[in-house]
A and B are shown apart, each in its own frame.
Chain A
């Protein structure tokens, strides 16, 4: 079984973000980087699938500057077998269709049985790349997966819907799955596996070899919304205050329902 996992390196979301000079993306300086959270679920699911099947070969793919190899090393230490680094210093200026085209151009003739991606990236958050890769390869995509079970060449996946509803989807492989929080708990790479990861194959392909589509959209501006005015001050007796607060929590939040 051949498995592909697509991952992205993103800034730690606790970082202090600044808009860059061009005003269309965030400033990369002084940020700490890590693997996109949803992609960690994707890697973990790929490794679990291989462990359950008792066989398989997992390729982890990432697009970006040399630095993204850090995230790839983690994926390799978690159990992926080989890495494909699509070298691109200008990855942040590419829109989702271009990213998906790059991945599809690589995966097209490789015969992957299962492709895992994150549901979305924590920085761009378009949620498009996985599904577009599926379309470009002519594969069925199952999104927002929170449970994954494969028997033979048939996958039963649970999808998370709004309002606490879940859907069960059956699909035949080859197929693509976008992974959501709750699918699994990503393992910590062990120290021996971190050391072994450096011996695994990590192939670098220049992005120009794989990209041959023009952008279909462009980010015109990136900005911080203006801060909203002060909070709401409730007044009255304690009992009334509590009632008002409960009402607000019910109406405006999901804390109470």
Chain B
């Protein structure tokens, strides 16, 4: 067992860090303020670096790197801008990855290569107004219609919604089957007739990442856009989320790391009672706990990513990593705001944004409660 990054992984970390600090970071606060997604910056430039297809084989336009490299990239982006981190994570883990895992060869040629190259951006439609944690109660329907499927319903809180060209969407194909069994996954192109966008969410955090409702009204798609087997959509969704959790856990580690560095820098410079506040144990102990929790989270993410690349089971590892990292991110960013005091609460400093961004990591791609449910169920099976 080796706790050291390979030369490639180190170089990927250095490269993405430098890129993130020079290109992505400087506009993060302003994009947050304006709730503005900048596609050229937050997606196209990632494609140029080869990040949009990082884990996929070269034959599909990917970089052929491992999940750990992907986790590192999302962490480094999120360290300066959590919105950019989730843009990549949703595109890669939630859209390109299920097509890679469950797609037919022709679906991979048509969709995965364009997604990996970043010519197209991806999104994933699972959540509905009345089907959140209970994904099995999906109400969107897909009915066989001649040579295709007719979709009706709507999906909410869709990351990259509106901006993405390719959507992996879950819909009920069998009303009579038991809850989890009558669901199928589909690939849907933006621009298909009957596929429209609803309102853009106004959010607490990750405000530079677009979140939108997507609507299907008699939307007819070709039969060959069924992803995986008919009725196996729930499995597709769960597998997709296993991978997605590595992305979100990495995002959480990145947010927490960014906040920790801000807190350390501030604590070393800020003088009260004639000495830097870092010299007070009350502060340095907090910093120690923050750094320790981040390191524990990071190692759990690395473990989940390693297992994914090694072909080992990783649902449990990714659920644990996501639970640990997201709760760490919330704790650490809150403490960072506290350490910066009034300045931390001010939007002049980035830690309040990090605290707002951290909260979503405890909610999306399975709330902390759902992670505990998944972990607990596996323990007591």
- A and B physically associate: yes
Given contacts A188-B18, A192-B63, contact A70 B48 (CB under 8 A): no
Given contacts A34-B14, A195-B64, contact A188 B19 (CB under 8 A): yes
- Which chain A positions have C-beta within 8 A of B69? 191
Q: Taking the nearest CB of chain B, how far is it from the CB of A47, in angstroms?
A: 15
Measured in the bound complex, the distance between the Cα atoms of B51 and A188 in whole Å is 12
Measured in the bound complex, the distance between the Cα atoms of B266 and A2 in whole Å is 50
- Which B residues between 227 and 260 are near A, CB-CB below 8 angstroms? none
- Which chain B positions have C-beta within 8 A of A197? 8, 11
Of A74, A188, A191, A198, which contacts B54 at CB under 8 A?
A191
- Which chain A positions have C-beta within 8 A of B65? 191, 194-195
Given contacts A195-B63, A195-B64, A195-B65, contact A190 B48 (CB under 8 A): yes
Question: Using an 8 Å CB-CB cutoff, how does the interface string of B1-24 with A read, 1 for contact, 0 for none?
Answer: 000000110111011001100000
Q: Does A77 contact B (CB under 8 A)?
A: yes
- Which chain B positions have C-beta within 8 A of A192? 50, 58, 62-64
Q: Does B49 contact A (CB under 8 A)?
A: yes
Measured in the bound complex, the distance between the Cα atoms of B13 and A189 in whole Å is 11
- Which chain B positions have C-beta within 8 A of A77? 11, 15
Measured in the bound complex, the distance between the Cα atoms of B65 and A34 in whole Å is 22
A188 touches B7 (CB 8 A): no
Sorting the interface of chain B by its residue count into under 10, 10 to 19, 20 to 34 or 35 or more gives 20 to 34
Of A70, A74, A191, A198, which contacts B63 at CB under 8 A?
A191
- Which chain A positions have C-beta within 8 A of B11? 70, 73-74, 77, 189, 194, 197
Q: Does A193 contact B (CB under 8 A)?
A: yes
Question: Using an 8 Å CB-CB cutoff, how does the interface string of B124-151 with A read, 1 for contact, 0 for none?
Answer: 0000000000000000000000000000
B19 touches A195 (CB 8 A): no
A194 touches B48 (CB 8 A): no
Q: Taking the nearest CB of chain B, how far is it from the CB of A30, in angstroms?
A: 16
Name the CB-closest residue of A to B55.
Answer: A191
Question: Using an 8 Å CB-CB cutoff, how does the interface string of B49-81 with A read, 1 for contact, 0 for none?
Answer: 111001000100011110001000100000000
- Which chain B positions have C-beta within 8 A of A194? 8, 11-12, 15, 63, 65
Q: Does A8 contact B (CB under 8 A)?
A: no
- Which chain A positions have C-beta within 8 A of B58? 192
Q: Taking the nearest CB of chain A, how far is it from the CB of B197, in angstroms?
A: 31
A-B contact count (CB 8 A): 53
Question: Using an 8 Å CB-CB cutoff, how does the interface string of A189-214 with B read, 1 for contact, 0 for none?
Answer: 11111110110000000000000000
Q: Does A85 contact B (CB under 8 A)?
A: no
Of B7, B18, B62, which contacts A70 at CB under 8 A?
B7
- Which A residues between 193 and 248 are near B, CB-CB below 8 angstroms? 193-195, 197-198
- Which chain B positions have C-beta within 8 A of A159? none
B49 touches A191 (CB 8 A): yes
Q: Does A158 contact B (CB under 8 A)?
A: no
Name the CB-closest residue of B to A33.
Answer: B14
Measured in the bound complex, the distance between the Cα atoms of B11 and A70 in whole Å is 7
Q: Does A82 contact B (CB under 8 A)?
A: no
- Which chain A positions have C-beta within 8 A of B48? 190
B50 touches A190 (CB 8 A): yes
Q: Taking the nearest CB of chain B, how far is it from the CB of A35, in angstroms?
A: 10
B7 touches A198 (CB 8 A): yes
Measured in the bound complex, the distance between the Cα atoms of B10 and A198 in whole Å is 13
Name the CB-closest residue of B to A34.
Answer: B14
- Which B residues between 193 and 220 are near A, CB-CB below 8 angstroms? none
Measured in the bound complex, the distance between the Cα atoms of B49 and A197 in whole Å is 15
- Which chain A positions have C-beta within 8 A of B18? 188
Name the CB-closest residue of A to B54.
Answer: A191
Measured in the bound complex, the distance between the Cα atoms of B11 and A197 in whole Å is 11
- Which chain A positions have C-beta within 8 A of B64? 192, 195
Question: Using an 8 Å CB-CB cutoff, how does the interface string of B176-197 with A read, 1 for contact, 0 for none?
Answer: 0000000000000000000000
Q: Taking the nearest CB of chain A, how far is it from the CB of B76, in angstroms?
A: 12
- Which chain A positions have C-beta within 8 A of B63? 190-192, 194-195
- Which chain A positions have C-beta within 8 A of B49? 188, 190-191
Given contacts A34-B14, A73-B7, A73-B11, contact A191 B51 (CB under 8 A): yes
Measured in the bound complex, the distance between the Cα atoms of B346 and A142 in whole Å is 52
Measured in the bound complex, the distance between the Cα atoms of B15 and A74 in whole Å is 9
A198 touches B50 (CB 8 A): no
Measured in the bound complex, the distance between the Cα atoms of B15 and A250 in whole Å is 39
Measured in the bound complex, the distance between the Cα atoms of B266 and A60 in whole Å is 41
Measured in the bound complex, the distance between the Cα atoms of B7 and A56 in whole Å is 26
- Which chain A positions have C-beta within 8 A of B19? 188
Measured in the bound complex, the distance between the Cα atoms of B51 and A192 in whole Å is 9
Measured in the bound complex, the distance between the Cα atoms of B252 and A175 in whole Å is 51
Of B10, B15, B51, B73, which contacts A189 at CB under 8 A?
B15
Question: Using an 8 Å CB-CB cutoff, how does the interface string of A91-113 with B read, 1 for contact, 0 for none?
Answer: 00000000000000000000000
Measured in the bound complex, the distance between the Cα atoms of B13 and A70 in whole Å is 12
Measured in the bound complex, the distance between the Cα atoms of B73 and A34 in whole Å is 18
- Which chain A positions have C-beta within 8 A of B51? 191
Of B8, B14, B73, which contacts A195 at CB under 8 A?
B8
Given A188-B49, A190-B50, A198-B8, 18 extra CB contacts under 8 A? A69-B7, A70-B10, A70-B11, A73-B8, A77-B15, A188-B15, A188-B19, A189-B15, A190-B48, A190-B49, A191-B49, A191-B54, A191-B65, A191-B69, A194-B15, A195-B8, A197-B11, A198-B7
**B interface with A by C-beta (< 8 Å):** 7-8, 10-12, 14-15, 18-19, 48-51, 54, 58, 62-65, 69, 73
User: What are 9 pairs between A and B in contact, CB < 8 Å?
Assistant: A77-B11, A77-B15, A189-B11, A190-B49, A191-B15, A192-B58, A194-B12, A195-B64, A198-B8
**A interface with B by C-beta (< 8 Å):** 34, 69-70, 73-74, 77, 188-195, 197-198
